[in-house]
Amino acid sequence: MMAKKVLIVDDEERLRELVQACLEDLGGWTALTAGSGQEGLQIAQTEAIDAILLDVSMPGMDGFALYDRLQANPATRSIPVILLTAKVLASDRARFAQMGIAGVISKPFDPITISEEVAEILDWKFEY
């Protein structure tokens, strides 16, 4: 089976590095990173991405703006998006589901289990 390729889009460098290490070391996946919505959009359009972990609050193009751009492009529309955010209200979860967001992982997250959470949200097989 081919390793999954996950794109992490977050403006916090240390958080990107932590998530990347967790997904690669514990999930066995390839993780690409982008520090801005614009950079994330470029990578999503040029790489075969299996999923995107997306921060909502970023300067410039925020997570929602990036999600809208991904949805507008037939080449990136089918990539599942998981929001990685500190601000999640119950009403937000319903709105995210209506938007077609695959799932939400709240910050702070548990680095040990984030790969399992991603696998569960996306219904990927996860080897322990």
pLDDT computed for residue 86 by the predictor: 84
pLDDT computed for residue 92 by the predictor: 79
pLDDT computed for residue 78 by the predictor: 97
User: What distance in Å separates the CA atoms of residue 93 and residue 123, rounded to the nearest whole number?
Assistant: 19
Evaluated on CA atoms 23, 85, 88, 91, the torsion sign reads: negative
Note the pTM of the prediction, 2 decimals.
0.94
pLDDT computed for residue 49 by the predictor: 97
Reported as a single tens digit per residue, the pLDDT across 70-84 is 999 999 999 999 999
User: What distance in Å separates the CA atoms of residue 79 and residue 49, rounded to the nearest whole number?
Assistant: 7
Point out the residues of the chain with pLDDT beneath 70: 1, 127-128
pLDDT computed for residue 91 by the predictor: 79
Please, which residues have CB within 8 angstroms of residue 84's CB and are 6 or more apart in sequence? 8, 10, 19, 53, 54, 55, 56, 105, 107, 109
pLDDT computed for residue 105 by the predictor: 94
pLDDT computed for residue 128 by the predictor: 55
Task: Quote the Cα angle for 25-120-89, to 5°.
Answer: 105
pLDDT computed for residue 1 by the predictor: 52
Tell me how crowded residue 32 is: count the other CB atoms within 10 A of its CB.
17
Closest CA relative to residue 9, chosen from 58, 71, 80: 58
Phi-psi region at 75: left, alpha or beta (left = phi > 0; alpha = psi -120 to 50): alpha
